């Protein structure tokens, strides 16, 4: 199925009233007309043609007619905890958050404590930029209903589903906890200088050096059987601070991931074959998987934007997430 479209093709879809989730460069999204869509800046995709970078095409997920848009709402760091209260009782909420913003930090660090966060399906992703533009160009999200371009707020499309149809969220994570040391932290945050190794306070940077400093392997927490990754950004030798693309949470037990025994694309497709039972209405994958697995030109069975963070209820890294609609009863 075609996933990447020209500007003119997407423009026509909007005029036709289709409900769209869009990923493309900021320049392309800013030119689109108002309509039933939300979008986020990103130029990396897993398409039907394989993994690729594109600055002249738009990635499109079209929501099926089962979904009815209740609202398209903007949230800042102060209002984002209301996202679950605003969601319909039976529906799906799709969120896009610009990376490296206050609302990104707020959601990443605190969403797990939001009221009813696991009671209503919420999925989505973190918008980004070309990797060479990190820190130079702000990621953006778009509220297609109002035409707003936002670099400091999240946008959420709240959709209601009819009786007999429910949204089901899936997580595909290649990584599991290794058999090594247990790491914990005394504060929540994206950067840490200290950790506890099996209960003993240690320099986090020195611990990483002990692990040979391989930043491609994430820390993994076990949330009642769900493996949740926290991925490394860099180690600052001057400050001995370790930065991550998602926060570690206070008191949660982490272990370094077990190294993969197969190539990324092979491991992904094998795992997808065991977990996916239906075509998703939305999916996304992590930019770190794209880079570390050298997925450019390689194909996976699930397509989507390659993002700066993935959301199924809470924020993940180095993970593929998806949402499907299924009949119940």
| Residues 191, 193, 196, 202, Cα dihedral to 10° | 160
What's the DSSP call for residue 260? P
Q: What is the DSSP letter of 177?
A: B
For residue 57, pLDDT over 70 is answered with yes
Helix (H, G, I), strand (E, B) or coil at 6: coil
- Count how many Cα atoms sit within 13 Å of the Cα of residue 123 in the half-sphere of its side chain: 23
Tell me the C-alpha distance between 156 and 96, whole Å.
7
In 3D space, the residue among 314, 321, 319 whose CA is nearest the CA of residue 84 turns out to be 314
Beta-bridged to residue 312, according to DSSP, are 123, 314
How far apart, in whole angstroms, are the C-alpha atoms of residue 19 and residue 217?
37
* Structure confidence at residue 272 (pLDDT): 78
Q: Using one digit for the tens of pLDDT, what is the confidence trace for 126-142?
A: 999 999 999 999 999 99
Question: Dmax over Cα atoms in the chain, in whole Å?
Answer: 61
pTM for the complete prediction?
0.94
Write out pLDDT tens, residues 151-192.
999 999 999 999 999 999 998 898 999 988 999 999 999 999
Q: What is the pLDDT of residue 211?
A: 79
Among candidates 28, 78, 84, 16, which has minimal Cα distance to 57?
Answer: 28
Is the distance from CB of 60 to CB of 6 less than 8 angstroms?
A: no
């Amino acid at each position: 199925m075609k996933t990447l479209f020209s500007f003119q093709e997407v423009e026509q879809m909007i005029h036709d009233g289709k409900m769209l989730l869009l990923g493309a460069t900021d320049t392309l999204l800013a030119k689109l007309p108002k309509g039933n869509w939300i979008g986020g800046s990103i130029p990396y995709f897993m398409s039907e043609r394989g993994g690729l970078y594109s600055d002249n095409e738009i990635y499109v997920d079209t929501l099926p007619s089962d979904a009815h848009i209740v609202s398209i709402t903007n949230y800042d760091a102060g209002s984002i905890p209301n996202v679950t209260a605003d969601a319909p009782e039976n529906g799906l909420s799709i969120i896009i958050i610009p990376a490296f913003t206050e609302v990104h930090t707020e959601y990443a660090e605190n969403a797990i404590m939001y009221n009813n966060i696991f009671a209503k399906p919420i999925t989505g992703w973190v918008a980004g930029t070309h990797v060479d533009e990190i820190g130079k160009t702000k990621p953006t999200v778009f509220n297609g209903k109002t035409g707003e371009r936002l670099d400091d707020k999240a946008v959420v499309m709240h959709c209601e589903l009819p009786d007999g149809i429910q949204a089901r969220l899936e997580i595909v994570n290649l990584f599991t906890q290794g058999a090594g040391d247990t790491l914990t932290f005394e504060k929540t945050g994206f950067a840490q200088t200290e950790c506890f190794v099996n209960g003993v306070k240690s320099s986090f940077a020195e611990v990483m050096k002990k692990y040979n400093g391989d930043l491609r392997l994430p820390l993994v927490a076990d949330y009642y059987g769900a493996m949740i990754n926290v991925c490394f950004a860099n180690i600052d030798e001057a400050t001995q601070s370790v930065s991550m693309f998602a926060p570690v949470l206070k008191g949660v037990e982490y272990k370094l991931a077990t190294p993969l025994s197969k190539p990324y694309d092979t491991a992904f497709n094998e795992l997808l074959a065991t977990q996916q039972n239906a075509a998703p209405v939305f999916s996304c994958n992590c930019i770190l998987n794209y880079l570390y697995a050298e997925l450019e030109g390689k194909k996976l069975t699930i397509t989507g934007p390659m993002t700066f963070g993935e959301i199924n209820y809470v924020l993940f890294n180095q993970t593929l997430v998806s949402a499907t609609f299924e009949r119940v009863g």
